Chains A and B, each alone.
Chain A
Amino acid sequence: MESERKFVTGSDIPVKGVYTPEDVKDIDYAKDIGLPGEPPFVRGIYPTMYRGKLWTIRHGTGFDTCTETNKRLKYELAMGQTGLSIFTDMVSNAGIDCDDPRVEADVGRGGVYLDSLRDWEECLDGIPMDKVSSFIIATCNNTCPATAMYFATAEKQGVPLDKVDGTSQNEMLVYYVCSHLCDPLLPHVALRLNIDCIEWCVKNAPKWHPVAFDSYNYREGGLLAWQELGLLMAHVTTYTDELLRRGNLGIDEFAPYFSYNTGTHNDFFEEIAKFRAARRMLYKLTKEKYNAKNPKSWQFRFHTQSCGHTHTHQEPLNNIVRIAYQTLAAALGGAQSIHANAYDEASCLPTEESLLVAIRTQQITQYETKVCNVADPLGGSYYVEWLTSQIEEKAWEYWQEIEKHGGMVKALESGWLHREFANAMWERQRKIEDRETLVVGVNCFESPESQYEIPVFEANLEAGKIAKARLERLRHERDNSAVEAALKEVAEATESGENVMPSVMKAVKAYATQGEICNVWRKLYGIWEYPLRI
């Protein structure tokens, strides 16, 4: 009976059975919605949206060493992927060299191990860096050296810096909450390095987006749609305030380079409404709080990935359906770049076969469903417009709560964000176990035993040994005194408060490793202890 059931969105927003003009009567189309490409950008950041340019099919990839990942990147492009996205492994992300005794088994797991310019050169060998844009998901300690290595690789390929197209994720907040890095730099040090990278890239790499504020991991971990947006806006204010404090660039010089990396979850209409709300929120934030005048500063240019935890270990082929719906929601939500997961996400990294299905999912959405014909086709839906406003309202409230906890960096250092994240995961699990959230094949329509098996990705278990041998050879072949001098310059630039990027660029070209560079910073400032308690 309807009266006995509670109807809520995936983010616990109570919803009625039907929406009418009454529910949206206070919304003014011209002021609150507008046309695509015009403030407040609810309907899309470009006037023609997908008629003008389809979203980029951009699957994140990375595993084992540069050799295996190079092969996979070429496979992706051959199958019709239109942009690249490179995940570096936990070891690289932490800025640690593979000969550290703690890390051999983790080298090349969950991402590609890329330690030096030589690794990047081989990883991108044969990839036309002048034609393909890349999203470098280096987020933490290694973000400056990884970005520098990408640029240096492009230079070796003959692509000048002002033509290199792509994005560095380059923001530490989400990973410091959602991930437990090994030997992390202090938050304010990591933030300083991120900001240095942004400032340097704005001046030297005009086609590069030096930051992609990341809310994917929040949503993926169980935080709700409006919490995701509140956090995302808090990321924006953290970095904007710091850039403005430094005073080297004005808002309209750096804000156009901001981009966003979000999650796409299961509640179809909620995710669409979320993206629409995000566009309106960023417009208001940049225009009203920061007085930005450049329309490019106001635009929420975003990448999105289907949320991994929604994909089940049980009956993994069902995930193809989930991912298809999520891809469609991202398209109807106006994404500029999409990573649709492979169906084996809950078991392993993608095989070529499962990756192909994911690429085809996006191509079918682009070429067969006809959803690209019209911008924001759900605009004007009473439900979707109402829901867009609801999510925005709740997201601003959450953003206020983060401000009350001192902003993102203080909320991170105090452990509040970690507790929010852990509580969200707990609550999500509770809902599944109490059957408030139904998951087909898991807590409803379960098969008594497994109906089939899928092929499993086979990692190269020798990756750690191979990487160590490569590193040894590199250290034998490079000019170690040049490396030492370059690392000394990194230390001096860091201590003097200069932008570190020029010295980091020099160090990477001398074939210093990202571990050696990060150790300069660890030596200067020490290691952060996570505020996790149980």
Chain B
Amino acid sequence: MRQVKSAVKEMSKGDRRIKCVVAIPGIDGHWTAAYVVSHALRDMGAEVVYLGNGMPEEIVQTAIEEDADLIGLSFHSGTHVVYSQELINLLRAKKAGSIKIVVGGTIPSQDIRKLKEIGISEVFPAGSTLQQITTYVRKHCG
């Protein structure tokens, strides 16, 4: 958390604020991890639109309307490949491929490469820290 707070100092030196949409695709009910990550991103200085549960169309539409840099997706029920593919396809179809997607949650190691091949920018499996996530976002989405 000390590292998260020092990132805030850096962000406030006139940098453009990173904008993130955080969502849980489909109807999986595990909400708290996405909520906590949203708070960490906000504390880091990013603007966060926390959608909670949403279908891919809604998530992508929100990201486009908000001019988001990043979509963060939370998965805890094994739907990460199916929904990630759908979201990547939608972003490309709407010519919004510059919006990055990162995913996190209950994701087996074997699926990490598959997700990156689909076009997911980074994967944060269980055990990833908020510091890792915010450092990545600050570095790659600013």
Contacts and interface: CB of A to CB of B under 8 A. Distances in A.
Interface of A: 89-91, 93-94, 96, 102-103, 105-106, 109-110, 175, 178-182, 221, 312-314, 344, 346-349, 421-422, 425-426, 429-430, 432-434, 439, 442, 450, 453, 456-457, 459, 461, 530, 532, 534
A421 to B, nearest CB: 6
Contact of B31 (A109, A313, A349, A532): A532
B36 A429 contact: yes
B125 interface: yes
Given A442-B127, A450-B109, A110 B28 contact: yes
B107 interface: yes
Interface of B: 1-2, 24-33, 35-36, 38-39, 42, 48, 50, 52-53, 55, 76-79, 82-83, 106-111, 125-127, 129-131
A93 B28 CA distance: 11
Among B2, B83, B126, the most chain A Cβ lie within 10 Å of the Cβ of: B126
A534 B50 contact: yes
Contacts of A349: 78
Contacts, number: 113
Given A179-B29, A179-B31, 15 more contacts: A105-B79, A106-B26, A106-B77, A106-B79, A110-B28, A110-B78, A175-B29, A346-B125, A347-B109, A347-B125, A421-B32, A425-B32, A429-B130, A433-B129, A453-B109
Given A106-B77, A430-B1, A532-B35, A181 B126 contact: no
B126 A346 contact: yes
Given A347-B125, A348-B108, A453-B109, A90 B27 contact: yes
A350 B82 CA distance: 20
B1 A347 contact: no
Contacts of B39: 426, 534
A312 to B, nearest CB: 5
SS class of chain B's interface: helix, strand, loop or mixed? mixed
Nearest to A178: B32
Among B27, B107, B127, the most chain A Cβ lie within 10 Å of the Cβ of: B27
Nearest to A315: B127
A439 B126 CA distance: 13
B29 A433 contact: no
Contact of A109 (B32, B79, B110, B125): B79
A434 B1 CA distance: 7
A314 B108 CA distance: 10
A276 to B, nearest CB: 29
B110 A453 contact: yes
Contacts of B77: 89-90, 106, 109-110
Given A106-B27, A106-B28, A347-B107, A425 B2 contact: no
Nearest to B132: A433
Contacts of A91: 27
A425 B127 contact: no
Nearest to A464: B82
Among B38, B109, B129, B130, the most chain A Cβ lie within 10 Å of the Cβ of: B109
A215 B97 CA distance: 43
Contact of B106 (A89, A346, A442): A346
Among A96, A105, A421, the most chain B Cβ lie within 10 Å of the Cβ of: A105
B124 to A, nearest CB: 10
A202 B129 CA distance: 47
A193 to B, nearest CB: 18
A459 B106 CA distance: 14
Contacts of A426: 36, 39
A180 B53 contact: yes
Contact of B78 (A103, A314, A348, A434): A348
Contact of A110 (B36, B76, B108): B76
Contacts of B26: 102-103, 105-106
A450 B110 CA distance: 11
State the 7 A-B residue pairs at the shortest beta-carbon distance, nearest first.
A179-B29, A110-B77, A347-B108, A109-B77, A182-B27, A313-B126, A534-B50
